[in-house]
Structure formats: C-alpha cells, structure tokens
Amino acid sequence: METQTLEINSVSAYYGDTKVLWDISLAVALGRIVALLGSNGAGKTTTLRSVCGLLPIRSGEIKYNGKVISGMASYEIAALGITLIPEGRQLFPQMSVEDNLLVGSFLKRDKKRREENISRVYELFPQLSSRKKQWAENLSGGEQQMLAIGRGMMQEPKVMMFDEPSLGLSPFMVKEVFSVVNTLHKQGITIFLVEQNVRQTLKITDYCYVIENGRIVQKGTGKELEEDPKIRQTYLGL
C-alpha cells in the first residue's frame, strides 16, 4: 500500500462569503506525480493555497505525513518541506536572478547550504547561471519560469506544488518545463501539479483528479483519464 504524503480530507474553503471548495478529498502518494486538472475558476489554485496555509479552510483537514497542517502558518508549512511554485512566477522583477534565488533560502536550515543549493539550480538551469546578475524582468517568460522553479528548489523541498507552470510559454518551453518536472521527480521529489495542458500532463502523471466548480468529479491514472470519453472531449478536443 502506498504512503500518502499529502492528504486533503473533506476540505471546504471560501473567498469571503463565496464558497470555492466543496468538501474535496484527494491524496498525493509519496514519490509520485499527482495532477489536479480543471478549467479556469474550477478551484485548482484555491486548493494549492489551502495546502500552503495561504487561505484558511473552513472545514475538513489537510495532513502531511500523517500530521494535521491545516491551521498552521504558511512559513511553518514551508519549513516542513512543502514548496509552491506559484502561477505567474511572482518574482521580484527588479532584483537580480541570483538575489531572487537567495530569497528562496529564507528558512534557517536552508541558509546553511545556500551555495550548495544555488549550484544545484545552476546545474539544472545553466542559462540562469549566465544571467545571474540580470534583473528578473529582463528574462524571457521561459527563463522566468525556470527562475521561479529554482527559487523553490532553494527551500530543499520534499513536495513541490506547481500552479500552471506552462502558462503563457512557447511550445518548446512547455516541453522544457515538463522535462524539468520529470527531472525533479526522478531526484526523489513528490510532485503535485495543477495544469491546464491536459495532454502533456496525462503523459507524465501517476494519478489525476479532475475538479469542476470546486468539487472533485473524476479521478484515475493518467492512462485511464486519457482513454475516458468525457476527458477526451472536454479537455483533449478529441
């Protein structure tokens, strides 16, 4: 039986008085790539924000390695080894590439290995090494996404959550991003992926959930969903 490193159990969440998540439940198994699929406004980003402690939940619970983390501060959750690569990168545009990476090592334990971790980032993204003194706003969209991923790596995560990492990128860079996700997975990092590029996502994931209007409506392996008529029609255009 697989060990569930991240568990979301009957979670409901609101923005103000508007209910966005309706008693959703899902699990991310240790060492796996698990995806959450859905259209814009379905509740994908809200789910990730709830896990990170950026949005308090109203009911249910979220567990990490069997420990309840819902209600903890976001920095405490990050310290456990859960890192979010946010939608839209959210870099510091008028700071250098290297300074943006250093911001990622804000935890006390990470500061001790800053040089080691930054070397790992530059090894994975050599183009960032050649641009380390440039401002982040001067990078291409693909390079900015690599920088956002590299910043997350500086936290030495055990679980990396990606929110629409291919959004707005060229087809070539989309392939590059998915290749990086695969590489991080092979390095032993558990991946929780939110992505609208369903075709690419189904190729790399071990298990998927589909969310519509704040409710989980379908789940299965990537292969199972790829062969499902509704998924093929709604998300693959087949």
Query: Which tens digits make up the pLDDT trace of 30-54?
Result: 999 999 999 888 999 999 999 999 9
Angle at which helices 141-153 and 171-186 cross, to 10°: 10
Q: Which of 138, 156, 174 is the last residue of a domain?
A: 156
Co-location of 136 and 101 in the same domain:
yes
Position 232 scores a pLDDT of 84
| Residue 238 clears pLDDT 60, i.e. is over it | no
Q: Which of 128, 156, 184 is the last residue of a domain?
A: 156
CB 229 within 8 A of CB 235: no
3-state secondary structure of 194: strand
Tell the residue number behind the tokens 């991003």, with chain if given: 177
Range of the domain at 47: 1-81+158-238
Per-residue pLDDT band at 1 (split at 50, 70, 90): low
Q: Which of 107, 138, 156 is the last residue of a domain?
A: 156
Nearest to 150 by CA among 201, 197, 91: 91
Co-location of 166 and 230 in the same domain:
yes
Measured in whole angstroms, the distance separating CA 92 from the mean position of its chain's CA atoms is 19
Co-location of 163 and 237 in the same domain:
yes
CB 33 within 8 A of CB 205: yes
Query: Which tens digits make up the pLDDT trace of 58-69?
Result: 999 999 999 999
Per-residue pLDDT band at 101 (split at 50, 70, 90): very high
Co-location of 141 and 170 in the same domain:
no
CB 21 within 8 A of CB 62: no
Position 21 scores a pLDDT of 97
3-state secondary structure of 76: helix
CB 39 within 8 A of CB 194: no
Neighbouring CB atoms inside 10 A of 187's CB total: 10
Position 2 scores a pLDDT of 77
Nearest to 204 by CA among 229, 227, 221: 221
The residue-averaged pLDDT of 120-139 equals 94
